[in-house]
C-alpha cells in the first residue's frame, strides 16, 4: 500500500506539473493573442502623402518609422493662435554627469526660446529663457524635420538650428545665462549625428472632439553628439562615445486644456545604441501610441505605457509598466526641472524630472535587455494654452 500510495502521489504530482505547464502554455498563447490584437490597432503609416486633407483633417492617422507625411502650415484650418510648433533637444553625458536642453518654439500667441544646463553631480539646473509675443508662425520653424534652418536672437540669448542630415547643428550664445554658482554666460556649438536610415518614432493623431485639431510629431533618439559648451569659466567637451541626444519635433493644432506624460532616454547597451520614447495623455490614440524602444537603429513598437507617480512629491521613485509587459522600469529622480506659469487664460504646470532608469525592456524578437541606471527623463505637463 505504501508503494502504491507513493506511485499514486507521484502520478498526481506529474499530472499536476503537466497541468501547470498546459496552463502556462495556454496563458502564454492567450497573452500573445491579446498582444497581437492590441498591436493590430497600432496602425503603421507606410506611404508618403500630404499630412492634411483639404478639409484640414489628417489624411491618415497612426505611427511611422520615418516622417512620411508632408506638413504644410497653409493647409491648417485653425487660427494662427491655435497652431503650436517646436523643436526641443536634449543632450546627456553620464560620464561627465551633465546635460543640456534647447527649446525653440512658436505657440501662436507666444514664442519661447530657452537653454538649460543640468549638473547631475551637484543636482542643480540653471536656465535662461526668453519670450516673444504673437509670433504666429514668424519664427520660421521648418516644415521638414530632416532639413531646414531656424534661429532666434535677442539681448538675452541667440539660438540657431541647422539641419542637413546626417547632421543637426546647434549654436548657442546666451550672455543672459546665469549659473547656480553665480557665473554668467553660456556659449557652444554641438553637432548631433542622425543616420537617415535609422528608425524614429512618428505619430499623427487628432482629437475626438475636434478632428481639425491634430498632433504631428517625430521623436528622434540615439543621436551621438560632438562639440563643446562653455558655461561661465567651465568648458564641457561632448564626444560621440559618451554623449547622446534626442529631438522632439512637434507641429499641430491643440485644444485648450491638455495634460501629457513623456519620457525618453538615449545611450548604449551592449555597445549598441539604445533608447526609448514613451508617452500618452492627449489626442485620440486609438490608431497608435508613441511608445517604442530603439536598438541598433531599429524601432521596436510598444503598446500602452503607464507612469506611476507620486504627484505630491515628484522626487520620490517612479515606476513604469506596459500593457504588453515589454517595458518595466523603476526611476530614481535626481533633478525636478519644474515651472509654473499663470497668465490668466494661459497657464502651465510642468515637472520634467531627470534621473536613472533601471529595469527590463523586451525587443520584438523576445530578447530581454537589462537596463541598469540609464540616464534619462520623464515629465508630467499640464497646459491651458
Collapsing DSSP to helix, strand or coil, 322 comes out as strand
Co-location of 228 and 368 in the same domain:
yes
pLDDT for 22 equals 39
Contacts of residue 375, Cβ cutoff 8 Å, sequence gap at least 6? 92, 94, 99, 120, 265, 267, 354, 355, 356, 357
pLDDT at 269 over 70: yes
**Looking at residues 62-85, what average pLDDT do you find?**
97
β-pair partners for 287: none
Q: How many domains does the chain have?
A: 2
Co-location of 210 and 353 in the same domain:
yes
pLDDT for 343 equals 81
pLDDT for 338 equals 94
**Looking at residues 43-69, what average pLDDT do you find?**
98
pLDDT-derived band at 345, boundaries 50, 70, 90: confident
pLDDT at 104 over 70: yes
Cα gap 174→167, rounded to integer Å: 23
pLDDT at 241 over 60: yes
Co-location of 272 and 133 in the same domain:
yes
Co-location of 185 and 205 in the same domain:
yes
Q: Return the C-alpha torsion angle 90, 95, 96, 100, nearest 10.
A: 0
Co-location of 164 and 141 in the same domain:
yes
Q: Is 352 exposed, middle or buried (0-12, 13-18, 19+ CB in 10 A)?
A: buried
Collapsing DSSP to helix, strand or coil, 234 comes out as strand
Co-location of 18 and 133 in the same domain:
no
**Nearest by Cα to 272 from 369, 163, 182, 197:** 369
* pLDDT, the chain, mean: 91
pLDDT for 134 equals 96
Q: Taking the model in full, what pTM does it have?
A: 0.89
**Looking at residues 257-276, what average pLDDT do you find?**
97
pLDDT for 221 equals 98
pLDDT-derived band at 161, boundaries 50, 70, 90: very high
pLDDT at 24 over 90: no
pLDDT-derived band at 178, boundaries 50, 70, 90: very high
pLDDT-derived band at 231, boundaries 50, 70, 90: very high
pLDDT-derived band at 226, boundaries 50, 70, 90: very high
Collapsing DSSP to helix, strand or coil, 278 comes out as strand
**Looking at residues 67-75, what average pLDDT do you find?**
97
Full residue range of the structural domain in which residue 28 is found: 1-40
Co-location of 30 and 59 in the same domain:
no
Co-location of 28 and 133 in the same domain:
no
pLDDT at 311 over 70: yes
Whether the CB-CB separation of 122 and 115 falls below 8 Å is answered with: no
CATH number at 145 reads 2.40.370.10
Look at residues 40, 56, 71 and tell me which one is the last residue of a structural domain: 40
**Looking at residues 102-112, what average pLDDT do you find?**
96
Cell 486609438, located at residue: 286
Co-location of 138 and 173 in the same domain:
yes
Co-location of 26 and 102 in the same domain:
no
Amino acid at each position: 500500500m505504501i508503494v502504491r500510495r507513493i506511485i499514486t502521489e507521484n502520478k498526481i504530482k506529474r499530472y499536476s506539473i503537466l497541468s501547470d505547464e498546459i496552463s502556462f502554455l495556454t496563458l502564454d498563447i492567450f497573452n500573445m493573442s491579446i498582444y497581437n490584437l492590441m498591436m493590430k490597432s497600432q496602425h503603421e503609416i507606410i506611404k508618403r502623402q500630404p499630412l492634411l486633407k483639404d478639409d484640414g483633417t489628417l489624411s491618415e492617422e497612426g505611427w511611422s518609422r520615418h516622417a512620411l507625411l508632408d506638413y504644410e502650415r497653409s493647409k491648417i484650418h485653425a487660427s494662427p493662435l491655435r497652431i503650436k510648433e517646436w523643436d526641443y533637444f536634449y543632450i546627456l553625458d553620464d560620464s561627465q554627469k551633465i546635460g543640456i536642453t534647447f527649446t525653440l518654439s512658436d505657440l501662436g500667441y507666444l514664442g519661447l526660446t530657452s537653454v538649460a544646463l543640468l549638473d547631475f553631480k551637484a543636482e542643480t539646473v540653471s536656465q535662461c529663457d526668453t519670450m516673444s509675443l504673437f509670433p504666429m508662425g514668424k519664427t520660421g520653424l521648418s516644415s521638414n524635420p530632416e532639413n531646414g534652418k531656424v534661429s532666434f536672437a535677442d539681448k538675452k540669448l541667440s539660438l540657431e538650428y541647422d539641419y542637413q542630415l546626417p547632421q543637426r547643428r546647434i549654436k548657442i550664445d546666451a550672455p543672459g545665462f546665469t549659473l547656480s554658482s553665480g557665473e554668467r554666460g553660456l556659449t557652444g556649438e554641438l553637432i548631433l549625428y542622425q543616420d537617415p536610415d535609422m528608425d524614429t518614432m512618428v505619430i499623427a493623431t487628432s482629437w475626438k472632439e475636434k478632428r481639425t485639431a491634430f498632433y504631428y510629431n517625430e521623436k528622434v533618439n540615439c543621436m551621438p553628439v560632438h562639440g563643446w559648451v562653455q558655461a561661465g569659466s567651465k568648458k564641457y567637451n561632448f564626444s560621440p562615445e559618451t554623449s547622446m541626444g534626442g529631438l522632439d519635433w512637434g507641429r499641430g493644432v491643440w485644444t485648450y486644456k491638455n495634460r501629457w506624460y513623456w519620457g525618453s532616454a538615449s545611450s548604449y547597451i551592449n555597445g549598441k545604441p539604445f533608447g526609448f520614447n514613451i508617452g500618452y495623455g492627449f489626442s485620440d490614440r486609438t490608431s497608435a501610441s508613441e511608445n517604442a524602444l530603439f536598438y541598433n537603429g531599429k524601432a521596436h513598437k510598444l503598446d500602452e505605457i503607464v507612469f506611476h507617480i507620486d504627484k505630491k512629491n515628484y522626487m520620490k521613485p517612479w515606476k513604469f509598466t506596459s500593457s504588453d509587459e515589454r517595458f518595466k522600469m523603476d526611476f530614481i529622480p535626481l533633478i525636478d526641472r519644474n515651472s509654473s506659469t499663470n497668465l490668466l487664460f494661459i497657464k502651465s504646470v510642468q515637472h520634467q524630472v531627470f534621473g536613472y532608469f533601471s529595469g527590463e525592456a523586451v525587443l520584438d524578437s523576445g530578447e530581454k535587455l537589462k537596463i541598469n541606471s540609464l540616464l534619462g527623463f520623464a515629465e508630467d505637463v499640464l497646459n491651458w494654452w
